[in-house]
Structure 1
Amino acid sequence: MNRSDVLIVGAGPTGLVLALWLSKLGIVVRIIDKTSAPGTTSRALAVQARTLELYRQLDLSNAVVQKGHRVDAANFWVKGEPVARLPLTGIGEGLTPYAFLEMLPQDEHEQLLIERLEGFGIKVERSTELEGFEETGDGISARLRLHDGQQEICQACYLAGCDGARSIVRKTLDTGFPGGTYQQVFYVADVQAHGPTFNGELHLDLDEADFLAVFPLAGEGRARLIGTVRDERADRAETLGFADVSSRAIEHLKVQIEQVNWFSTYRVHHRVADHFRNGRAFLLGDAAHVHSPAGGQGMNTGIGDAINLAWKLAAVLSGGATATLLDTYETERITFARKLVATTDRVFTFVTAEGRMADLLRTRLAPFLIPKMASFETSREFLFRTVSQITLNYRGTALSTGVAGHVHGGDRLPWAHDGEGDNFESLKCLTWQVHVYGDTSDEMIAWCHEHHLPLHVFDWRPAFEAAGLGRNGFYLLRPDTYVAIADSSADPKVIERYFKEHGIRPFFGSP
């Protein structure tokens, strides 16, 4: 038990997904967490479309959708009345198999991941804390404090810090974590209640009162309330109870509380670590970046970190790539994290800003603009693409090259679906693969066969053109389903050169 390929510190969604992906790829993992039991009062709710797409690789998507709640609309309230409604049903129609907003509380989400991980024979080691570590010549030597108080020296090839905003891994690496903390104190409450806002849709109060959002959950009358606490109450955040929360916003949204299942307060930070990697140690999720809850991006971004790193670690550990592949993790993920923090910061500031001008913008301008924007398909599509993370790309980075049709190297492969099929079906395999839309050369077919590289040739159809895919070229897809090469030729030497330049042998390691 004290030797593994990868030691994962932290068993939140990021650590659990990393453990799952690595286990699926045959990598020996050990996952520890200092808590005695899984969390029951977690804040994250939204499972974005891109996460659901990637979850297909673990056969998790359907389970998440079945357990969660699909939100049909977002409603905006001012002075106790609904003033704008943004329909969300099919808002991403034609862009993804998951063209909706899915809500699943983080604690239920984690339990699903834990059960799947146990299917690989891996259990989270609870009440086990990382006290420190150092890099040796060929790995990591970590000091653990076990549940019985005993100390253990653990050996691993690599260490993954998924241990949250107060990460001991980040502190041990002495990596800077610049940013700041918002002045508002937030509260989160899981409640049983009734009223017009308990119709299965999302509701937000834009008024000058304390900010409040009502997030629907699966089950009659269940919802998660997320709001702000201002004035002098913020100075005693640690001792606040639900009774201390301003009733003004709750009354504005006509929420009739029957029972408070749990309640907690917290402060929101906006920070990105200076580095996501130092030698054999990596930072993921909240250990690497924290930001406002605007747009439900945090948990999904951490899961994206895990998937990006998992296939690269698996390739290196299995002999399918040189260790230089791991350099691309920080490059690809830190750019997105910095952009995300800046974007969510602007949204958060608008929603929670105080003062007469801010109130006028929220209560007068926003209710006027939201229905206008919602009436245009292009604006609805832009909103969905951004929030769902399907526009996240790695263009211009080391592993991304070329363009074919409207698709660039580094892009997420566009989804194309019609009555004849779905081009995402083959993406369930955690392997490198080639997609061709139209015709390809005999050389390409022979080369892929010889090198055990899966080749999927789709007869050309209008749906592919509509999705922006190029005809008769090829797309080399990474194991995380992002495009490595987009090329308009049918020349396998392009792929051969790519693998040679990057030290990759794609037929190694993947089941």
Structure 2
Amino acid sequence: MNRSDVLIIGAGPTGLVLALWLSKLGIHVRIIDKTLAPGTTSRALAVQARTLELYRQLDLADAIVQNGHRVAAANFWVKGEAVARLPLTRIGEGLTPYAFLEIFPQDEHEALLIERLETFGIRVERNTELESFTETGDGITAQLRLPDGQEETCQACYIAGCDGARSIVRKTLDSGFPGGTYQQIFYVADVQASGPAFNGELHVDLDEADFLAVFPLASEGHARLIGTVRDERAEHAETLKFEDVSSRAIEHLKVKIEQVNWFSTYRVHHRVAEFFRSGRAFLLGDAAHVHSPAGGQGMNTGIGDAINLAWKLAAVLSGGATAKLLDSYETERIAFARRLVSTTDRVFSFVTAEGKVADLLRTRLAPFLIPKLTSFGASREFLFRTISQITVNYRGMPLSEGVTGHVHGGDRLPWAHDGEGDNYESLKNPTWQVHVYGDTSDEMIAWCIEHHLPLHVFDWRPAFDAAGLARNGFYLLRPDTYVAIADNSADPKVIERYFRDHGIRLFFG
């Protein structure tokens, strides 16, 4: 009987990242997908800064930046004219090594993840479907339907449902999926074209309640059109063609279409599962939460789920922690998912609202306010922090303790950079580690050496103060680079007590 540590259902970005992270940490995974081949079309485009930061742990960030497209600006159009421009080139300068908007289509993204996963000897099992599963005392027993139609019984310690909005894992767990469905039909078209909106920047039409945007891709004259329709055409989504929706792009954004490579339509929901974990089964990505594409958050949130769960599963399976560590996955990720669904729903509802007042706000007020607001550094920083997901934090949650400087337990470690380097180099290693900015005690140094806990002591520099880091305290960092403890002492007993209380064993490799 085939047995793995973790059986992953679904080979989209969420499932692939989970498989990749676990494989890097020495965990035996099996990943299946019911599709015949990887997708050749994609809706998700943006790879946010926080995802790129975490991808450094897998040596993926540079490949994405090199092969993707950095968007220089967002342009907003009204009545056939560009009326506002928001520069994006260094919108997050000083906050992250990736202070820009990166476009890297999901199909190319998946191909890169699959290629890297194969270096660990793991291949996605295609045309293979989960039929059912049950939990036994020490694991999961699953029934799979193989490509030849035969049924296979397999076992795993845990099962991860990364199988999308129609998740069989979620349905088997009988988790509710409350929320709703947007009335609009969304469409995506991959086109080659020319015109002022094909200058390598992002363009958004504010004219009507139906959303329309042009997202640039790496190839010159190549872009993704994403839009909505809500009139009588939406009632016949299955027969909708590009010709039915293209006139608006041609007229409003002055697009000259040369070739349509592909076109598809879909409906979007805004839902969050009632729970993300039941026993040995977990829900991640679209199986756990779906929302509007506003802000390019969906794929990145699923990847965040995968990284959050991966190090915890690896710790438990390798004997480095007790199973209670896994309780924190749902606590940390469901709170963020609920906030995100609420936020993206409000933004999308504003952009697509109907009526004279809504039209006035979009076409007159928004073009006036956007340049004004973004001329202030604080406004630009708030916008970038929100969209880039660098503000995602786990403050006040069970694995987060303390505060020192401006940094709380549960925060992403702030990036500090100057001419002497940055404080992120050690984060490439996905392990527990301690950062000290300034000086620490001989006791702390000796304790960390004895317990094989990496300790990085940085000579105090103004860049650390500017980033909000405290002098001479310490930050215990989790393997996913979030702060577990922020403490202004140099006492290793604080760390020792933390590990003991959370069932984490004091050995590190």
TM tier, shorter chain? over 0.9
| 8 Å CA contact 1:57, 1:429 repeated in 2 | yes
Give the CA deviation at 1:313.
0.1
Structure 2, unaligned runs of 5 or more: none
Name the residue aligned to 1:279: 279
For residues 374-400 of structure 1, the C-alpha deviation after alignment (integer angstroms, 9 at most, x for no partner) is 100000000000000000000000000
Q: Distance in 1 between matches of 2:232 and 2:82?
A: 29
Q: Which amino acid aligns with 1:65?
A: V
* Structure 2 residue matching 1:115: 3-state secondary structure: helix
Alignment of 1:135-150 (within 5 A): 135-150=135-150
Name the residue aligned to 1:6: 6
Name the residue aligned to 1:226: 226
Give the CA deviation at 1:153.
0.3
Alignment of 1:497-508 (within 5 A): 497-508=497-508
For residues 137-181 of structure 1, the C-alpha deviation after alignment (integer angstroms, 9 at most, x for no partner) is 100000000011110001000000000000000000000000000
| 8 Å CA contact 1:80, 1:252 repeated in 2 | yes
Name the residue aligned to 1:202: 202
Q: Which amino acid aligns with 2:300?
A: N
Give the CA deviation at 1:353.
1.2
| 8 Å CA contact 2:209, 2:351 repeated in 1 | no
1:364 aligns with 2:359: no
Give the CA deviation at 1:507.
2.4
| 8 Å CA contact 1:432, 1:506 repeated in 2 | no
Q: Aligned residue pairs: how many? A: 509
Give the CA deviation at 1:421.
1.1
Name the residue aligned to 1:485: 485
Residue identity over aligned pairs, in percent, reads: 87
Q: Which runs of 4+ in 1 moved over 3 A?
A: none
Q: Which amino acid aligns with 2:128?
A: T
* Structure 1 residue matching 2:183: 3-state secondary structure: strand
* Structure 2 residue matching 1:183: 3-state secondary structure: coil
| 8 Å CA contact 2:201, 2:216 repeated in 1 | yes
* Structure 1 residue matching 2:268: 3-state secondary structure: strand
CA gap 1:234/1:469 in 2 versus in 1, 3 angstroms: same
Give the CA deviation at 1:246.
5.1
Name the residue aligned to 1:468: 468
Name the stretch that deviates more: 244-253 or 113-122. Answer: 244-253
Q: Distance in 2 between matches of 1:100 and 1:370?
A: 18
Name the residue aligned to 2:250: 250
Name the residue aligned to 1:62: 62
Q: Which amino acid aligns with 2:320?
A: G
Q: Which amino acid aligns with 1:170?
A: R
Q: Distance in 1 between matches of 2:485 and 2:438?
A: 17
Name the residue aligned to 1:403: 403
Give the CA deviation at 1:230.
2.0
* Structure 2 residue matching 1:326: 3-state secondary structure: helix
Q: Which amino acid aligns with 2:63?
A: A
Q: Which amino acid aligns with 2:176?
A: G
Name the residue aligned to 2:263: 263
Name the residue aligned to 2:392: 392
Name the residue aligned to 2:448: 448
Q: Distance in 2 between matches of 1:471 and 1:300?
A: 33
Structure 1, unaligned runs of 5 or more: none
Name the residue aligned to 1:72: 72
Alignment of 1:77-476 (within 5 A): 77-208=77-208, 210-245=210-245, 247-476=247-476
Q: Which amino acid aligns with 1:338?
A: R
TM-score with structure 2 setting the length: 0.99
Q: Distance in 2 between matches of 1:159 and 1:233?
A: 41
Q: Distance in 2 between matches of 1:505 and 1:426?
A: 21
CA gap 1:152/1:240 in 2 versus in 1, 3 angstroms: same
* Structure 2 residue matching 1:397: 3-state secondary structure: coil
* Structure 2 residue matching 1:94: 3-state secondary structure: coil
| 8 Å CA contact 1:432, 1:476 repeated in 2 | yes
* Structure 2 residue matching 1:344: 3-state secondary structure: helix
Q: Distance in 2 between matches of 1:350 and 1:85?
A: 19
| 8 Å CA contact 1:210, 1:246 repeated in 2 | no
